[in-house]
Structure 1
């Protein structure tokens, strides 16, 4: 019984020993290093942008001025140029219509006679004053004689050569001469007062005459500007009152384009105006509500051709932001709306003759900030969360970013290839346009010979060896 148990155990132990010996006799496999594949990336060069920032916004052409002509006098329309209807072009000073001028001509003539009559009355007063002055001179001479005569009579009375009654008679004669002189002097003062009244009456008549002449001139209605008639509201033989609408004329000496700019775009314009890159809201002054007069280009596409006009950023269209779009409405002034350019040359026959109201146009605003700007492909940008950015930053980069970055903007990074390895640079994107991004060159370590990674990468990290395709 014991042998039946021991025999299998011995066989098992012998087999285990044989297997152990066999494993001990086998040579261990040789270790071989596996070559990991190098990450292949596509790159693009970084380019220094010399054109500055360019904003493209949509706009619509609006009238520069619309002039409402109203009747300044009442009367019947006796003449109207029937060819000057809505849509007709008129020049400055061109006659449009005439209101019956006869009543106003008669009023001018009547008031002219009143002015002449006032002048005659003033001349008569001057003659009366001259005559009275001569009488005063004679009266003074007579008074002197009476004084001498009275003195002689008093001398005779002292010698008892005459009677007191004779002396009294001479005194009465002298008093009469004095009274006559005083009356003449009073007449001169009265004439001066009357002359002032006549002069005031003449001035009033002259003012009425000027008003009558103005009314007579206003019977002829002419175009105040070069422009196009928008509406014509009266016909010949119609009777019009003062203030009756006659015409509405659009001034074509200039045109305006209404468009809207975002606040970040306005910020660059204000920074350019201030001459330094600081928060524009920190600057205060008398020009807070004015826009810098920045040149802009207005373009309109027609039949595959793009026509351009030169304009300038003029002013805000009102004040405040649009509540729906949160943009600021502005107006672009085009001083020469009839001078279109094609490829930089003036054209007249092959394109639109002028900017017309209602045209939808493209507005190009160009700003040259006081900072270096780099241009990179949009595909080179990587949008990172704030936590991921902080994890990839050194202490110095994090401090620099906190100091100079705009927290309201998305946080972007660029991956660069330097010496065959990946490096990261945290950047501020100013604007993205035409598949390119413009980068703020301040406080970033970018070089003209840098190669920017534009191909997608799974898990990039700083220092990872890479190989540039091609």
Structure 2
């Protein structure tokens, strides 16, 4: 029994070996996997210049462009106060706000008018006297000529003994009297122009006094010069005002201004976009900049277009900011305060945005910037290039450096980034690269 079991072991072993051999022979060959490339897959875009304008922001408070103060120039009691004269009320130009008692000033006007009339009458009388004196002088000169001739005739008769000496003396006396009369008239005519000049000067002074009295009378009525919003009222009816007292403060509705504080560095970046144009002065260049003012409060947001008017005269050394004066014109609805959105009023804190002129720069996406360096794909390898960041706008960055149009900019963040490492572009400008053999070549 034991011997038979031993003899059966060898046939079973042979069958097992045969089955194992058949299984090995019939097994399919395992495919050989080729060695994978070591090049890193990256996304690239073509580097090129494009026009981009820097945008800077600042903050400031709204102030009215025109502030009008009703300052008393005369004294007296206020006898009228407009019922609509209240803080915050919008009033049209020409509205009478206040009236000061004009009695004393009306009396001064009447007195000045009387003085003017007296001087005018006197000047008219002098002119009439001058005319009469000239006529009288002409007549008296003719009489003097006749008297001279008569005296000469009397002398001739006396020499012939035809008249007495007394008759000659009487004629001589008549001639001298007529000569004296003519001389008096000439003296009066000579003095008359001086009297006229004095009277004319007095008349001019009286007219000036009348104008001053009339101006003082006009100053008793306070009238709003422009459409305005009342900001402050410091007077009531029956109060006595004195000169230089501020009675009312009003803000013009035509436009408002914002003194936006902007970083000096950011503003210099904006100014650099204007330096290429030397045909206009700097103040005119400022008007080429585009600006807007934004008001944000909770869920409410509103924007107004603005104009860069001028630069402030001071620089904040602590904050390193410069003031940029923006001017915002208000439409009629905003002036009256009936617009759908709130109007810009004094004291509002707003955000200002200033945009420079578009200038050609190397512009790359923010995600392609690695600190102060960028990655380029050249000849299938990585090249790290240092750049200077000029400014940012949204997700784009304007840079400067040793760059050429057509170079391929790597968008991926490579860790580690070793210059010269192999790269493989899988997308170019957003499109899938089908032939990787062109990797690293300018498209």
Task: Identify the TM-score tier after normalising by the shorter chain.
Answer: 0.7 to 0.9
Could you state the TM-score of these two structures normalised by the residue count of structure 1? 0.74
Q: Secondary structure at the match of 2:370?
A: strand
The corresponding residue for 2:360 is 372
Aligned residues: 390
1:464 to 408, 416, 421: 421
State the 1:469 CA deviation. Answer: 4.8
Question: 2: distance between equivalents of 1:92 and 1:47?
Answer: 57
Question: 2: distance between equivalents of 1:338 and 1:183?
Answer: 77
The corresponding residue for 1:415 is 375
Q: CA distance change for structure 1 residues 350 and 146 in 2, over 3 Å: closer, same or farther?
A: closer
Q: CA distance change for structure 1 residues 208 and 413 in 2, over 3 Å: closer, same or farther?
A: same
Q: CA distance change for structure 1 residues 129 and 274 in 2, over 3 Å: closer, same or farther?
A: same
- 1:67-111 deviations in Å (ceiling 9; x for gaps): 221112111111112332111112211111111122222222222
The corresponding residue for 2:318 is 324
Q: CA distance change for structure 1 residues 198 and 249 in 2, over 3 Å: closer, same or farther?
A: same
The corresponding residue for 2:369 is 381
State the 1:437 CA deviation. Answer: 1.0
- 1:105-130 deviations in Å (ceiling 9; x for gaps): 22222222221222111111122112
Check whether the contact 2:54–2:393 (CA below 8 A) recurs between aligned residues. no
- Answering whether residue 301 of structure 2 is matched by residue 311 of structure 1, we say no
2:350 to 348, 353, 361: 361
Check whether the contact 2:81–2:99 (CA below 8 A) recurs between aligned residues. yes
Whose relative contact order is higher, 1 or 2, with alpha carbons under 8 Å and at least 6 apart? 2
Alignment of 1:442-457 (within 5 A): 444-447=403-406, 450-457=408-415
Check whether the contact 2:40–2:424 (CA below 8 A) recurs between aligned residues. yes
Question: 2: distance between equivalents of 1:167 and 1:51?
Answer: 118
Check whether the contact 2:57–2:353 (CA below 8 A) recurs between aligned residues. yes
Name the stretch that deviates more: 71-80 or 33-42.
33-42
State the 1:351 CA deviation. Answer: 2.0
- 1:386-425 deviations in Å (ceiling 9; x for gaps): xxxxxxxxxxxxxxxxxxxxxxxxxx33212245333344
Taking only aligned residues, the RMSD between alpha carbons, in angstroms, comes to: 3.0
Question: 1: distance between equivalents of 2:392 and 2:140?
Answer: 103
The corresponding residue for 1:434 is 394
Question: 1: distance between equivalents of 2:402 and 2:150?
Answer: 116
Check whether the contact 2:374–2:409 (CA below 8 A) recurs between aligned residues. no
Question: 2: distance between equivalents of 1:432 and 1:125?
Answer: 86
State the 1:306 CA deviation. Answer: 3.6
Alignment of 1:18-33 (within 5 A): none
Q: Secondary structure at the match of 1:467?
A: strand
1:336 to 330, 338, 341: 330
Question: 2: distance between equivalents of 1:360 and 1:454?
Answer: 41
Q: CA distance change for structure 1 residues 140 and 443 in 2, over 3 Å: closer, same or farther?
A: farther
Which 5+ residue runs of structure 2 have no aligned equivalent?
A: 1-33, 428-443
The corresponding residue for 1:189 is 190
